Amino acid sequence: MPSSYSHRVFLLAEEGYRLMMCQSANAMWSRWSAMLVWIFLLLCCSANVVNTIIYQVTEEQPPNTLIGSLASDQGLPDTGHLYKLEVGAPYLRVDGKTGDIYTTETPIDRETLKDCRNLFEGDPCFLEFEVSITDLMKGTGPRLIEGRIEILDENDNTPQFSSPVLTLSIPENTHVGALFAIPVATDRDSGSNGIADYALTTGPEAANLFSLQVAQDSDEKLPQLIVLGNLDREQRDSYDLNIKVVDGGSPPRQSSALLRITITDANDNVPKFEKSHYEGELPENSPVGHSVLQVMRQVSQ
C-alpha cells in the first residue's frame, strides 16, 4: 500500500478521534451545567425555608391556648418582624408581632382531622402549618416556616354499643361450651384511651347458663357469650343480661346495653297421644264419613 495513502488514513482517524473526544466533553459539560443549575436553585429556595418545627398539644384545648412561640424558637427579636399564618386555619392563629401560635374557637378534634381518620394503632396525628416571616427592618422578602403539631389523644369519647338493646338467638339444643359473638362496641378514641374490656352481669336465673369471654383479634377486643348449661325453651324462652364496655382512659369511660337472649325451638320432643288407647261404638247402619271418635295429641310448649 502506498505510504501517502496510509498517511491520509492516519490523519482521518486522528481527526475522527478528536471529534469524538470533543463531543464527549461537550456532553459531559452539559450534564455538569444542568447539575449546577439544580444546585443553585436548591440553595436559593432553601434560603427562604426554615427547618420544620414540631410542637405538641392535647386535643380539645380551649381557645387561645398557647402552642408555641416562633420568635423565641427561631431566635428572633420580639420586634421588627411580621408573622402571617399561611396554612393551619381554622384551627390555629398566629400573633402578627410575636409569632405565638394559639388555638382558636374551632376545637382541634383528633378523631375528625382529615389526616388522622385512618391511622393505625400507635401512629401519631399531625396538624401541619406554615407561617411567613417578614423582616421589617431589612425590608427583605418573607421567609417561610413549615411546621407540624402533634395532636395528642384525649379520652373525650365514651365507648358505645350500636343499640341500647342487643339480641342473640340461641337454639335450645346448643352444646355446652358453644360461643356466640356479641355485637362489639365502638370508641372514637384510640390507643390506651380505646376499648379496654367488657363485663357481663346476669341474674340468678342465668348465672349458671351464660358467661363472657373476650377474645383478642389484632388490636380489637371481641366479646363472646359462652353457654355453660343446657337450655330448654319449654321451661324459659328468653333471658335479659347486661353487658358493659369500658375504655382504658384515666378516669375510664363506660356504657352498657341490655343483652336479650332468645331461645329458639328445636325438634326435641316426640309427639304423643293423650291416651294410650281409644274405644268407640259404631252402629252397623252408619253412613260413610260418620264420626266414630276423636283422638288428641299432646302439645309440648
Query: What are the pLDDT digits (tens) for 25-46?
Result: 455 555 555 555 444 444 444 4
Rounded to whole angstroms, the Cα distance separating 19 from 22 reads 5
pLDDT score for 281: 77
Rounded to whole angstroms, the Cα distance separating 251 from 246 reads 10
Q: Please give the grid coordinates belonging to residue 293.
A: 271418635
% of the chain beyond a pLDDT of 90: 54
Q: Which of 100-114, 138-152, 261-275 is the least confident region? A: 261-275
pLDDT tens across 229-242, in order? 999 998 999 999 99
Q: Chain-wide mean pLDDT for the chain?
A: 82
Q: Please give the grid coordinates belonging to residue 100.
A: 405565638
Amino acid identity for residue 187 in this structure: D
150 beta partners: 56, 126
Model-level pTM greater than 0.85? no
Q: Please give the grid coordinates belonging to residue 4.
A: 501517502
pLDDT tens across 61-71, in order? 999 999 999 88
Q: Which of 121-125, 160-164, 276-280 is the least confident region? A: 276-280
pLDDT score for 141: 81
The burial of 171, by beta-carbon neighbours within 10 Å (0-12 exposed, 13-18 middle, 19 or more buried), is given as: middle
pLDDT score for 266: 77
Decide which of 3.40.640.10, 3.30.390.10, 2.60.40.60, 3.40.190.10 is the CATH code for 49-152. Answer: 2.60.40.60
Q: Sorting pLDDT into bands at 50, 70 and 90, what band is 243?
A: very high
Give the pLDDT mean for 175-200.
94
pLDDT score for 3: 45
How do strand 143-152 and strand 220-227 relate by DSSP bridges? Answer: unpaired
Per CATH, the architecture of 165-264 is what? Answer: Sandwich (2.60)
Q: Sorting pLDDT into bands at 50, 70 and 90, what band is 5?
A: very low
pLDDT score for 2: 45
Rounded to whole angstroms, the Cα distance separating 192 from 45 reads 42
CA atoms within 13 A on the CB side of 178: 13
pLDDT tens across 245-275, in order? 999 999 999 999 999 999 998 765 566 767 7
pLDDT tens across 282-301, in order? 787 778 877 777 777 665 54
The burial of 160, by beta-carbon neighbours within 10 Å (0-12 exposed, 13-18 middle, 19 or more buried), is given as: middle
